[in-house]
Amino acid sequence: MRGIWAIFKKEIRLYFASPVAYAIFTIFAVICGWVFSSVFFFFSQFSMQAAMNPMMARDLNVTDGVFRPLFQNVSVIMLFMMPLITMRIFAEEKKSGTIELLLTYPVRDGEVLLGKYAAALALFLVMLGLTLLYPGMVTYFARMEPGPILTAYLGLFLLGAAFLALGILTSSFTENQIVAAAVGFGAAIIFWLLTWFSDFAGPVLSRILGHLSLIDHFENFAKGVVDTRDVIYYVNFSLLCLFLTLRSLESKRWRG
C-alpha cells in the first residue's frame, strides 16, 4: 500500500502542476453546462405547454425529463475526455525514458499501475463532482427522486473507470501521447458502437455484441436501475484492461 500511495501522490502532483487537469475540468464543465442548460430549457418549454393540457402534465417528471438525457449526454462527453486523462500515464514515461527508472523502484509493477489508476480515478471523480451543481440547482426549484440520480452517478463512475482502464492500456503500448489518446478513443468507440453492429448480426452473435457494448450496460443506470450484471461487466472490463496493462509493463522487463 505504501508504494501505491507514493505513486498516487506523484501522479496527482503531475496532473495539477501542469495545465492538463485545469484544461480538462474547464472543457468538461463548459460542455456539460451547455448540455444541461439546453435540456433544462427544453423541459421548461414543454412544461409550459403541458400546463394547458392536464394529460401531458401528469406524465411530467424532472428526473426523466432533465437528468436522464443529461446523464446520457455526459456519458458521451466522457468518451472524448477520458483518453485525455490517460494519454500521458505511461506514454510520457516512455518518451522521457523514466519508465526504466520507475520500474527499478522498490515497488512492484502492480503497485505502479494501481497508483497511476487511482490518481486517474481521483481526477475523474473531481471532474464528475462538478456536475453535482445541476441536481443542486434543480432541487431548489422542484422535487426530485434521489435514488435514480445516485444510480446514474454510480453508472457514470463505473463507465468512467472502464474508460480509464482502457486508456491506460493503450497508453502502455506507445511513447506518443497523441497516439495513445487516438488509439484509446478509437478502442472506446468500438466498444461503444458494438450494439449498433449487433443489429446486423445473427441472433447468437447479436447477444454477444450487445453484452460487450459499453453503452448498453449504462442504459439501466440512466433509468435508475442497478443490475448486478451491469456492475459485474464494468468491473470485469476494468480488471481485464488493468491485467493486460500489467502484462504490457512486464514485457518491458523481458525486452530489457
Task: Look up residue 254 and give its three cell numbers.
Answer: 523481458
The chain-wide mean pLDDT, for the chain, equals 83
Residue 244 exposed, middle or buried by CB count within 10 Å (0-12, 13-18, 19+): middle
Q: What is the pLDDT of residue 199?
A: 63
Q: Identify the DSSP state of 104.
A: T
Over residues 14-50, the pLDDT tens digits come to: 888 888 889 999 999 999 999 999 988 887 777 766 5
Residue 250: pLDDT band (50, 70, 90) is confident
pTM of the predicted protein model: 0.89
Over residues 48-76, the pLDDT tens digits come to: 665 566 555 555 677 777 888 899 999 98
| 124 vs 12: CA distance, rounded Å | 12
The type of residue at 89 is I
| 252 vs 172: CA distance, rounded Å | 10
Task: Look up residue 197 and give its three cell numbers.
Answer: 453492429
* Residue closest to 196 by CA, chosen among 182, 220, 212: 212
CA dihedral 98, 99, 102, 108 (to 10 degrees): 180
Do 84 and 182 touch, CB atoms closer than 8 A?
no
Number of folded domains that form the chain: 1
Mean pLDDT across the stretch 176-188? 89
Q: How far, CA to CA in Å, does 83 sit from each of 38, 72, 194?
A: 26, 18, 19
Q: Identify the DSSP state of 201.
A: S
Q: Which domain holds residue 184?
A: 2-255
The type of residue at 154 is L
Q: What is the pLDDT of residue 67?
A: 87
| 248 vs 256: CA distance, rounded Å | 13
